């Protein structure tokens, strides 16, 4: 860990706990900061806050009192889930107090370079592929962020021999000042998280922050099939590295005559890839681009792509029961992700969908519902999804209370050869704390069928 004096004897407020807040508070305490932690959950129900209290860190729980801003904080480290419209954050911004996220802290203390990945869809798969390819070539990677250990914890143990591979959300990217990955990856951009960002433009601007501090000594890998990604690449100071599933790009990754290429070099035959779904080609090309820039061998890439079947909760094959195949795609928290999951199959599908109502309509799903023979709905958006299913000509539509009840119901109405697919097209927060919890409940329910 790099020794820095940026936060030494500075008064810092860590707003919101969860894993990233705990990591940030502990790190800042080690760096000699005067840390105050503020979390909405009462102290009696807050083991994380109790642990920090035992470390000698000041803890205030139960509310977010605006009076905290009168204590003269020089930085606020914000949990990504806390909105910028929170009165404390709005007040801090008005007073000129920098508001950062835990990722910024990790970058400042890390001895290791970063490969950072963002995008609307494919982040987790791409991050995991990059990590696995680096590991297969003995490049000593560490994984951090949304799918790994908290970044500030990883950064403390990383050395210059390591590379930190990190998945970043738009929420995290809004709170960076100096974060500068050696390689950044933008998988794709679509409309998402409008309840948080309020406009597509604001969402895309947050995502573009992944490359805002990069220089000509860094690389920016991007989806050249999308105009918005091309525009961000044009503004970036980093060396552009495009990938395309539609055309040949001489200075990036593409497919031609059944082979995957990078900068004109044949890497491997596409037919040897075992990861299901044509949508994963974007993730594969982005991953290959990143690791080839990092010097990974074609043998290591081939080893991973001929054995990697996907990440948990992302079009994850669970089991076959009485000729029905079950897939867990709980991480499909938006319409586009569900469209891509549906388009990955030619078999008849029983679709399990529904969740938090963010104001979206679901007509975009209709062209992708052609193989869906039945729909099981749950959650706040159940009526909306049912209406769209009827418009798509699906006759068998049933509503249940939750995912646990959806699985046996789907099995009852299915036939041999069907795919039973959990791909909710919605966030989980109306019923479940996280999409991981939702996916685990689905997995348990499948296993109970046996």
Give the Cα separation of 323 and 345 in Å (integer): 15
| 405 is annotated as contributing to ligand binding | no
What secondary structure does DSSP assign to 371-423, as a single string? TEEEEEE-STTHHHHHHHHHHTT--EEEE-SSHHHHHHHHHHH--TT-EEEE-
Give the Cα separation of 79 and 89 in Å (integer): 11
Give the Cα separation of 142 and 114 in Å (integer): 10
Three-class SS state of 153: helix
* H-state helical runs in 78-223: 87-94, 102-109, 123-136, 151-157, 170-173, 194-197, 200-208
Taking phi first (over 0 means left), then psi (-120 to 50 degrees means alpha), and beta for anything else, what does residue 198 get? left
Token digits for 88?
Answer: 């404390």
| 122 is annotated as contributing to ligand binding | yes
- The values of phi and psi at residue 416, to 5°, are -60, 135
| 62 is annotated as contributing to ligand binding | no
Neighbour-count burial of 372, counting CB atoms closer than 10 A to its CB (0-12 exposed, 13-18 middle, 19+ buried) = buried
Token digits for 136?
Answer: 């297969």
Nearest to 355 by CA among 386, 388, 381, 329: 381
| 6 is annotated as contributing to ligand binding | no
Nearest to 82 by CA among 31, 166, 152, 17: 17
Token digits for 393?
Answer: 């000509």
| 338 is annotated as contributing to ligand binding | no
HSE-up (13 A, CA, CB side) for residue 317: 14
| 187 is annotated as contributing to ligand binding | no
Element (H, E) at 442: helix 435-449
Nearest to 376 by CA among 340, 337, 349: 349
Q: Report angle CA 123, 127, 130 to the nearest 5 degrees.
A: 140
| 339 is annotated as contributing to ligand binding | no
DSSP conformation class of 426:
S
Give the Cα separation of 19 and 12 in Å (integer): 18
The helix-helix angle for 435-449 and 403-413 (nearest 10°) equals 40
Q: Which residues are annotated as a binding site for ATP?
A: 119-125
Query: Residues forming the annotated binding site?
Result: 119-125
């Amino acid at each position: 860990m790099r020794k820095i004096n940026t936060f030494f004897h500075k008064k810092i407020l860590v707003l919101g706990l969860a894993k990233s807040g705990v990591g940030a508070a502990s790190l800042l305490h080690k760096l000699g900061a005067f840390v105050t932690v503020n979390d909405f959950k009462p102290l009696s129900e807050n083991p994380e806050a109790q642990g920090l209290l035992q470390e000698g860190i000041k803890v205030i729980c139960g509310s977010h009192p605006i009076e905290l801003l009168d204590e003269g904080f020089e930085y606020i480290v914000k949990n990504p889930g806390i909105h910028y419209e929170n009165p404390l954050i709005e007040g801090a911004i008005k007073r000129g107090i920098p508001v950062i996220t835990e990722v910024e802290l990790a970058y400042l203390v890390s001895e290791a370079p970063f490969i950072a990945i963002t995008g609307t869809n494919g982040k987790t798969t791409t991050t995991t592929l990059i990590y696995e390819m680096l590991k297969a070539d003995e490049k000593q990677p560490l994984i951090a962020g949304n799918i790994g250990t908290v970044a500030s914890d990883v950064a403390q143990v990383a050395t210059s021999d390591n590379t930190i591979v990190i998945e970043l959300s738009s929420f995290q990217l809004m709170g960076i000042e100096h974060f500068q990955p050696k390689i950044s990856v933008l998988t794709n951009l679509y409309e998402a998280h409008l309840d948080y960002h309020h406009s597509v433009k604001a969402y895309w601007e947050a995502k573009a922050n992944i490359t805002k501090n990069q220089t000509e000594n860094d690389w920016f890998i991007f989806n050249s099939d999308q105009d918005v990604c091309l525009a961000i690449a044009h503004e970036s100071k980093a060396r552009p590295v495009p990938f395309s599933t539609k055309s040949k790009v001489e200075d990036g990754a593409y497919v031609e005559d059944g082979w995957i290429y990078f900068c004109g070099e044949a890497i491997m035959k596409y037919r040897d890839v075992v990861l299901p779904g044509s949508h994963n080609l974007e993730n594969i090309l982005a991953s290959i681009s990143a690791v080839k820039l990092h010097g990974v061998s074609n043998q290591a890439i081939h080893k991973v792509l001929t054995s990697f079947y996907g990440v948990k909760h992302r079009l994850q094959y669970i089991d076959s029961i009485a000729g029905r195949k079950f897939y867990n795609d709980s991480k499909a928290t938006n319409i586009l992700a569900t469209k891509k999951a549906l388009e990955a199959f030619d078999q008849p599908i029983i679709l399990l969908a529904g969740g938090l109502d963010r104001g979206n309509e679901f007509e975009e799903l209709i062209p992708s519902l052609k193989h869906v023979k039945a729909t099981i709905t749950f959650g706040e958006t159940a009526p909306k999804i049912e209406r769209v299913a009827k418009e798509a000509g699906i006759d068998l539509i049933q509503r249940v209370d939750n995912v646990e009840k959806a699985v046996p119901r789907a099995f009852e109405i299915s036939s041999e050869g069907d795919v039973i697919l959990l791909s909710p097209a919605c966030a989980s927060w109306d019923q479940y704390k996280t999409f991981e919890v939702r996916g685990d409940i689905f997995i348990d329910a499948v296993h109970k069928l046996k």
